[in-house]
Structures are given as C-alpha cells and as structure tokens.
Amino acid sequence: MPARILELAGADIHIFATPEDACRAAAAEVARAIDAAKKARGRAVLGLATGRTPVPLYERLVAMHKERALSFTGTSTYNLDEYYPISPADPRSYRSYMDQHLCRHVDLAPNRTHVLDGTVPEAFAAEHAALYDRMIAAEGGLDFQLLGIGRNGHIGFNEPTQMPVDEALKLPTRLVVLHPVTLADAAAEFPAAADIPTRALTLGVAPILAARSILVLAFGPKKAEPLARALTGPMTAELPASLLQSAAGRVTCMVDEAAAGGLE
C-alpha cells in the first residue's frame, strides 16, 4: 500500500516507503495489465525498461511466476532501448539484462521478447527502428509501458533537445546520440570509458506515449528534481519526461519518499 497518493498533471503519484514496496505494487499492476489486455483482446503487449530502477520489479515478477501467480503466455514484450553498437551477447547489453532479470526465468516465448538490435548495420538502423514501430502497431499497440527517468529527464533514450513540443511528441523509434549525463551514468556499467557506446536505439516518444497505460518508477534523491520538473513544470523537449503530461489520465508514478522529495 502506498503511504500517500497525489495527483499532478493528470498522473497518479503513489509514494511508498521503499523501492521494494513500490515494486511489489508495480508487479501487481503488471499482472493486472496482462490480465486485462488478454481479456479485452486476447493478447498483452508490454513495453519494458532496463536500468537499476526496475530490478526489484523483475525479481518480484519472477517470484510471482515461480509461485504460479503469473504467466506470460499470450504476452509479447518490446524493450525501450538498446545501446548502439553492442552485441546482444555482451553482458552490458539490454538484451542480456532482460535475459538475466526476466526472460530466462519465466514462460515468455523467445520470439515474443523484442529488443532493438544493437548489431544492425548503420545503413539499416532507420529501417530497423521503423520496423519496430510497425511491429508494435501490428500487435495493436502497447497495452502497458514501464518507464524509468534519467537524471536528465530522459525517457528510454529520448534525450533532452531544443525542438518544439509538437515535434518532440511525434518522435519515432530511432538511432540517437547519448547525452553527456547519460554517458556519465553509463560509466558504472562500462568501467573503461572508451567502451561506453555513444549512441543508442530508442523507442520514440510517440509510441511510448501511445501506450494504453504508463507506469513510471523513480527511486532515490537523484530522481527528485527531474520527477518534480516533469510533473510540475511546463511540457518541454528539454525534459522529455515532461511530455508524459500529454498522456494525462493514463500515467501512474510509483516512487519512494526520496524521489518524491520535490513534489510537496
């Protein structure tokens, strides 16, 4: 149970004592989303995220699966992003992350777990990204999108830009150049600075915001400022998480007390 619930910019904010408490509630939300989508249209399509934030959520989903309280049959997943270039076999790839934290432990069919391909030749990257969007559309769109927030306010790897809001809202899945703050954060995963990929493939702002429900997780004091700006400031492409305001009514944030520090 959240300690408190707020409503800001059309989003419900559930504030929990700890990330583990939030992730228990988030796992229940994922299970509900799968169930509701399968009842409504015979399949469930989930957009999934990586990073440190959702690790306890995946632990909980795996535990629920082992307790036979959750099945992923009839479910497809599409991950938000992937470094570029990177091999899926690289332990730092998001494909490896998903395998380690979720896929190998549950009944997700391997051909239904989609991650953008960090080995696609650059000449085909745009085509690969466009195909990813078409595959999601062909499955009827995302029923549920899980999101974290970068310290610079990115969602997926949609980094801060100067473009007008109406253009940013239309951004499709594509190859992007990573922002200096993102590169600094990636240094924890890539101890040799020269190994940090400077680019990535990311689900676009448009397909993210088109999801029928969006669950944002944010934990720790470093997320307090971007979260508060996203929910209480103006919509701006300089803080991509603020674009979530255009999905008002479909967004839930599950956060801990530290990340909620700037909200009240």
Distance CA(151)–CA(156), nearest Å, equals: 12
- Assess 197 for contact with ligand GLP (CB under 6 A): no
Closer residue to ligand GLP (CB): 70 or 80: 80
Catalytic-residue membership of 152: yes
- Name the segment binding ligand GLP (CB under 6 A); options: 27-35, 108-116, 150-158, 225-233: 150-158
State how far the alpha carbon of 25 is from the alpha carbons of 20, 35, 57, in Å.
Answer: 9, 15, 9
- Assess 93 for contact with ligand GLP (CB under 6 A): no
Give one word for 22, left, alpha or beta, with left for phi > 0 and alpha for psi -120 to 50. alpha
- Assess 57 for contact with ligand GLP (CB under 6 A): no
Q: Which of 101, 128, 154, 179 is catalytic?
A: 154
- DSSP state, residue 32: H
Of residues 49, 98, 108, 241, which one binds ligand GLP by CB under 6 A?
A: 49
Cβ proximity of 174 and 133 under 8 Å: no
CA angle 84/86/92 to nearest 5° reads: 110
- The CB-of-253 to ligand GLP minimum distance in angstroms stands at 13
- The CB-of-257 to ligand GLP minimum distance in angstroms stands at 17
Q: Which of 82, 101, 152, 179 is catalytic?
A: 152
Cβ proximity of 15 and 3 under 8 Å: yes
Give bridge partners of residue 139 from the DSSP assignment: none
Q: Considering CB under 6 A, how many residues would be counted as binding ligand GLP?
A: 12
Catalytic-residue membership of 111: no
Site of interaction with ligand GLP (CB under 6 A): 49-53, 80-81, 148, 150, 156-157, 182
Q: Which residues are catalytic?
A: 81, 152, 154, 159
